[in-house]
Amino acid sequence: MDLIVNELVKILKSELPLIKKELRCASLFRGFFTKCLADALSLLDDELAQDKPQDAVIHQKKARTILTPFGEVHYQRRYYLSSTGVKNYFALDRFLEIEKTQRATPLLRAWVVKASTGMTARHETEIISLLTPVSLSHQAVNQIVHEVGKELAAKQETEAVQAQDAFYNGTVKSRRKARYVIVTGDALLYKESGREVHHASLYRLTIHEGSRQVLKKNGQAAKNRRELINAVTFSSTKRENVFWLAKTYLNGHYDLRNTVVITNSDNGSGFTPDKFETFGAGAGQWIHQLDHFHARRKIEDRLKNKFPELQERLYRAVFRNYDFGQVTTILTTIDSVLSVDPSRNYQERTEVQKLFEYLKRNWSSLKPIKAYGKFHNPGGLGTSESGHRRYSNRLKGHGKYWSAAGARAQALIIDCVKNNTLEQYLGLPMVILEREKWQYDGNQIRRFLSQPQRLSEPHVGVISGKVELNGQRYFA
């Protein structure tokens, strides 16, 4: 310690500008850390050699370089040979759980993938090299993101399979009891690269218990600022996978017998009410809501604000009064105005008819929550749409093209950062469990459908029967 302090004093006494003195001090600390860590690894390897198995023989020492947040660390460790020649290993690497091909330490990988959620790989390499002594290429950053994303996906699926088995076997220890549980879902489009560039979908589901006002440090509620309660987000490029993950989490973490499950979506493709019905299984009550943001935007797009007074009445009829008779009257009035006005074309009347069919088709999903009983809106409905920003800023725009694996990895990393589970998953041992998948066999299905149908025989009903009541038998 005295040697380091003396070196720092020499640097500070020099005639260099202050900024260069800081650079010299930073270089001194980096060199000191890497040297101390290398010496510590060597001492640990010596201790492990004293407790080596009897059937193991130390063959030689091999050098290795690992990349830490404080720079490159070079050290040597012993290579062990077993008598059978099968279990050859490095005791130090096994003790520290460092993978054979892993060059960056877990902390550095966590920093890299966290930074990747808000910037491109090239920008990230500049920031990392500017703030740390680590030098990474954008290809190395992309490789770390892909590797971590694949690892997170495997561990997340393993955790979901274990939770699913525990639920079916009745071994779940404790589950939360909540008055309301909200499941909101939506999808966003991104450009997927390949032989032909096309748009692909990222499916997202968010589970939470409503919203509450954000509290300041002094304990007072912040104005117009709210946060979700116990929110967890799932994302995937496959809709079936994200629904399975959300359903498994819901069953494993919540006791839904006295819970009102409210699902919310835009009722688009893949997010229709029948797809969300699975979340209401076993719940006290299930309510599906069409997101009001999408409904309002549909009304604006169809009417194009050309009838402002009637449009305001339509909003009240849909969202406040929930009266389809008023909706029919208002849209019929708009259609009649368009039919007598020669300046209005046929296309505008078609838009009004499409709006009527849209509201009629989704009318049951627009029913207010309070109309179902003594319930209230817990807040947080439609948050999937507002929660797209972090994903869309990373995946969309500025000429960004993604492979399916890259988009899946980046979205999963953003999920873990939002859910505060990134360090938890990176610290878990790698145990891969996969859920059972149904194998699709088109030929077998065609053979089944092509079988000749047998004519059904009409049922003659009950010929005779008996019923016992109070010890007496009554025959039919």
Percent of the chain whose pLDDT exceeds 90: 38
Burial (CB count within 10 angstroms: exposed 0-12, middle 13-18, buried 19+), residue 326: middle
- Does 379 map to a domain? no
d(CA 100, CA 253): 36
Q: What confidence score (pLDDT) does residue 388 get?
A: 84
Structure-model confidence comparison of residues 361 and 434, the more confident one:
361
Q: How confident is the model at residue 367 (pLDDT cuts 50, 70, 90)?
A: very high
Number of domains in the chain: 1
* Helix pair angle (292-303, 346-361), 10° resolution: 160
Structure-model confidence comparison of residues 145 and 466, the more confident one:
145
Residues 137-146 have a mean pLDDT of 92
The mean predicted confidence, pLDDT, of the chain is 85
- The residue count for the chain: 476
Q: What confidence score (pLDDT) does residue 473 get?
A: 53
- Does 65 map to a domain? yes
* Helix pair angle (346-361, 324-340), 10° resolution: 170
What dihedral angle (degrees, nearest 10) is formed by the CA atoms of 222, 223, 229, 232? -100
Query: Distance between the two ends of the chain, CA-based, in angstroms?
Result: 102
Percent of the chain whose pLDDT exceeds 70: 88
154-174 pLDDT, tens digit per residue, is 888 988 888 888 888 888 888
- Does 53 map to a domain? yes
217-244 pLDDT, tens digit per residue, is 777 777 778 889 999 999 999 999 999 9
Residues 261-280 have a mean pLDDT of 91
d(CA 37, CA 17): 31
Q: What confidence score (pLDDT) does residue 454 get?
A: 52
Q: What confidence score (pLDDT) does residue 231 get?
A: 92
Residues 39-64 have a mean pLDDT of 85
Q: State which residues form the domain around 37.
A: 2-101
- Does 47 map to a domain? yes
3-state secondary structure the chain: CHHHHHHHHHHHHCCCCHHHHHHHHHHHHHHHHHHHHHHHHHHHHHHHHHCCCCCEEEEEEEEEEEEECCEEEEEEEEEEEECCCCCCEEHHHHHHCCCCCCCECHHHHHHHHHHHCCCCHHHHHHHHHHHCCCCCCHHHHHHHHHHHHHHHHHHHHHHHHHHHHHHHHCCCCCCECCCEEEEEEEEEEEEECCCCCEEEEEEEEEEECCEEEEECCCCCEEEEEEEECCCEEEEECCHHHHHHHHHHHHHHHECCCCCEEEEEECCCCCCCHHHHHHHHCCCCEEEEEECHHHHHHHHHHHHCCCCHHHHHHHHHHHHHCCCHHHHHHHHHHHHHHHHHCCCCCHHHHHHHHHHHHHHHHCHHHHCCHHHHCCCCCCCCCCHHHHCCHHHHHHHCCCCCCECHHHHHHHHHHHHHHHHCCHHHHHHCCCCCCCCCCCCCCHHHHHHHHCCCCCCCCCCCCCCCCEEEECCEEEEC
- Does 73 map to a domain? yes
d(CA 88, CA 80): 6
405-460 pLDDT, tens digit per residue, is 999 999 999 999 999 888 888 876 555 556 665 444 445 545 555 655 554 455 55
Residues 103-111 have a mean pLDDT of 88
Which candidate, 290, 315, 296, 279, places its Cα nearest to that of 365?
290
Q: What confidence score (pLDDT) does residue 430 get?
A: 56
Q: How confident is the model at residue 86 (pLDDT cuts 50, 70, 90)?
A: low
Q: What confidence score (pLDDT) does residue 440 get?
A: 43
- Does 373 map to a domain? no
Could you tell me if 318 and 338 are in contact, meaning their C-beta atoms sit under 8 angstroms apart?
no
Q: What confidence score (pLDDT) does residue 452 get?
A: 59
Q: Cα–Cα–Cα angle for 390, 163, 172, nearest 5°?
A: 125
222 φ, ψ to 5°?
Answer: -75, 140
7-24 pLDDT, tens digit per residue, is 888 888 888 889 999 888
273-332 pLDDT, tens digit per residue, is 999 999 998 899 999 999 998 999 999 999 988 889 999 999 999 999 999 999 999 999
Q: How confident is the model at residue 476 (pLDDT cuts 50, 70, 90)?
A: low
- Does 13 map to a domain? yes
- Does 34 map to a domain? yes
Q: What confidence score (pLDDT) does residue 439 get?
A: 46
Lowest mean pLDDT among 58-62, 108-112, 266-270: 58-62
